[in-house]
Amino acid sequence: MQFLTSLFVSLALFGATGTATNFTGDVVNGVPVISYLNLSDVPTRSVSRYYLRVGELSGGLPVHIPVFVARGTPESLESGKKLSLSAAIHGDELNGVRVVQRIFAQLEGQVESLNGTVIGIPTVNPMGIYLNQRNYFTSHNSGWLTNINRVFPGTAAVDGGSLPELLAYNIWNNVWANKSQVDVGIDLHTPSSGAETSLWCYADFRLPYVERLAKLLQPDTLKIDPGEPGSIETTFVSNSIPSITVEMGLAKVWNASLIDRVYDFVNRVLDDLDIVPSNSTQAYSPDLSKTYIATTFHDSVSTYGGFVEQLVTVDEPVTKGQPIANIRNAFGDILETIYSPETGKMFQSPQDPSIEPGASVGQIAYNSTDPECADGCIL
Ligand SMILES: [Zn+2]
C-alpha cells in the first residue's frame, strides 16, 4: 500500500508537467541544489535561487551553476511568457553577469504582479571565469579547451559527454526543459579578450520576433546573421524559440553605461512580452537612428606578427580602400598597411596592440550585394 501510495504521488508529480524539480538535498551558500528545474514547483510571486548540479571535476569536486527564477502570479506560468537570460558562457565576458543580477534585483519588487516567468543564469561557465578566459578547461588527456557556445544542446553523460558538453546538456534539458520552459532567449556576451566594440547583436531574422527583439536592443550595430551551430542563440532559434546574442563592450570589465543600456533593453523586452505591466497601450517604437543594420562582416587579418596600430576607431564609418591599420615590427617599421575591403563601419577592433599572423586587425560591417548574404554572412 505504501508503495502504491508513493507511486501515485510520483505519477501525480510527473504526470501533468513532466519531471518534478529534483532537490539533491545539498545546500551551497544557503542555496538549494537541484538536478532538474520544473517551473511549476517554483514558489509563485517570488524570486528563487538554485544551484544546478551539472557534474563533477576530476577528483569528484561538484560543479554547480547558479540559477535565478522569478515567478509571478500562479496562472501566469501558463498564460504569461517565459524569458531566459544567460551570461558568461565565455568566462572572460562579464558585462552580462551584472545585467542578469540587476534584472533579478529589480524583479524582486515586481513579482507580486509579474505576468510570466524569467529564468536567469548569470554565470554559465564558472570554469572559464575561474581561469579568467573564454573556454571551458577539461583536464584529462593533458587538458583541452572547449567553446561551450558550440556544443549546445550538449551531450548526456551516458552518451559519453565531456563536462562542458554535460554542462550544456544539463542547462538545455534540466533548466530550459528541452526548450519547453523558454519562449524567448537572450544570451549576453562581449568580444573575446583583446578586442573592443560598443553594443551589437547577432539576429536571425528568418524566425518571427527575432527582428523585433534585436531592434528593441537599439544596438550600435545589428548583424543579420544565420547563426552559429551549437550556440545558445542558434539552438534556441532552430527550436523555434526567438533568441539573439548580445555583444557588449570589452571582456573582463564591467562597463556601467553598456550594462545600463542592456538592462534597459531587457526591461523593454519584459514590457513587450507583457511580463511586466506596461506604462503604455502602444507597442514601444525602437529608436534606430544610431543603429547600423548590416548583413555582412569582414574580418581583416594581419600577415605578420608584431604590433597593430589602429587608424580607425570602433563605430567609425569606413570607405572601401581606406587604410584601417598598420602592422609594425618591434623596431617600429611598417610591415604592412591593411585597407578596408568595403564601405561600411568598423564595429570591432583589437584593443591589444600585440598581434600574431592571422589575427584580426579590425572587423568591418557592411551590406553585401551578394544574394547569398541576404540572411547574413561572415566573409
Ligand atoms: Zn562570447
Q: What is the CATH number of the domain that holds 353?
A: 2.40.50.100
Residues 132 and 33 in one domain: yes
| Ligand 1 centroid from CA 201, angstroms | 11
Instruction: Note whether 321 and 218 are same-domain residues.
Output: no
How many Cβ atoms from other residues are within 10 Å of residue 225's Cβ?
Answer: 25
CB-based contacts of 54: which residues, under 8 Å, 6+ apart? 63, 64, 65, 163, 166, 167, 170, 171
- Residue 377 CA to ligand 1 centre (angstroms): 18
Residue 140 banded pLDDT, cuts 50, 70, 90: confident
Ligand 1 center to residue 191 CA distance, Å? 6
Last residue in a domain, options 234, 257, 272: 272
The 10 Å CB-count burial string (b at 16+, else e) for 304-338 is eebbbebbbebbeebeeeeebbbbbeeeeeeeeeb
End-to-end Cα separation, the chain, in angstroms: 67
Cα–Cα separations (whole angstroms), residue 279 to 59, 171, 270, 274:
53, 34, 12, 11
Cα 124 to ligand 1 centre (Å) = 11
Q: What is the pLDDT of residues 343-369, one digit of tens each?
A: 999 999 999 999 999 999 999 999 999
- Most distant CA atoms of the chain, gap in Å: 86
Q: Is there a single domain that holds both residue 263 and residue 160?
A: yes
Tell me, what amino acid is at 348? Q
Let me know whether 253 and 366 are in one domain.
Answer: no
If one counts the domains in the chain, the total is: 2
Are residues 150 and 61 located together in one domain of the fold? yes
8 inside domain: no
How far apart are alpha carbons 153 and 172 in whole angstroms? Answer: 6
In this predicted structure, what is the pLDDT of residue 248?
97
The alpha carbon of residue 199 and the mean position of all alpha carbons in its chain are separated, in whole angstroms, by 13
Q: Label residue 115 left, alpha or beta by phi (over 0 means left) and psi (-120 to 50 means alpha).
A: beta
Ligand 1 centre to CA of 133 (Å) is 11
Cα 90 to ligand 1 centre (Å): 5
Q: Report the separation in Å between the CA atom of 24 and the middle of ligand 1, taken as the mean of its atom positions.
A: 31
Show which of 272, 289, 311 is a domain's final residue. Answer: 272
The domain in which residue 306 lies consists of: 297-378
Q: 252 CA distance to ligand 1 centroid (A)? A: 12
pLDDT the model gives residue 18: 67
CA of 93 to the centre of ligand 1 (A): 6
All cell numbers assigned to 36: 532538474
**Domain stop point among 239, 272, 305:** 272
* pLDDT tens column, 41-70: 999 999 999 999 999 999 999 999 999 999
